[in-house]
Amino acid sequence: MSTTIQQQYASSFSAASNKTSLWKKFISWCEGQEKNRLGWLAGAVAGHGCVLTILTMAAIIFSGNHFIFWPFAIAAMGACLVVNLAALPTKITIPVFFISVLIDMVIIASCMVIGFNIGGTYI
């Protein structure tokens, strides 16, 4: 009955910890890359547009030219190109670049799972 009448309090104190999420750390790193904006623009347009998109299109064609892959490949390159040509800040352009590279890598991996067949390129 003593616990009903007398309330007991714990006298320990714990400071609240400020945990920054991984996304917030990534975005703050992207904001810090503002001084390297032209390098990111060149890497995104030249590296993604001239190398990775070509490899993605070749993988699509060699795996049987499935139509479902084409809109995703075009949208990935288009999004990367639009945000860079619009001169948006790096906190937007870098995540869009990484997401578009991820989309292309998923397409290439899917095409490899389907299997490459040179017969799919003949008309």
Q: Please give the chain's pLDDT, 123 residues, in tens.
A: 555 667 666 667 666 667 888 889 988 998 888 898 899 999 989 988 899 999 999 999 888 888 899 999 999 999 999 999 998 999 999 999 999 999 999 999 999 998 887 776 666
Task: Report the phi/psi class of residue 13: left, alpha or beta, with left for phi > 0 and alpha for psi in -120 to 50.
Answer: beta
Angle 90-96-97 from CA coordinates, rounded to 5°: 85
pLDDT at position 106: 96
pLDDT at position 74: 94
Q: Dihedral (C-alpha) 102, 108, 111, 112: value to the nearest 10 degrees?
A: -120
Q: What are phi and psi of 52, to 5 degrees?
A: -70, -40
Amino acid making up residue 67: F
Amino acid making up residue 115: G
pLDDT at position 57: 93
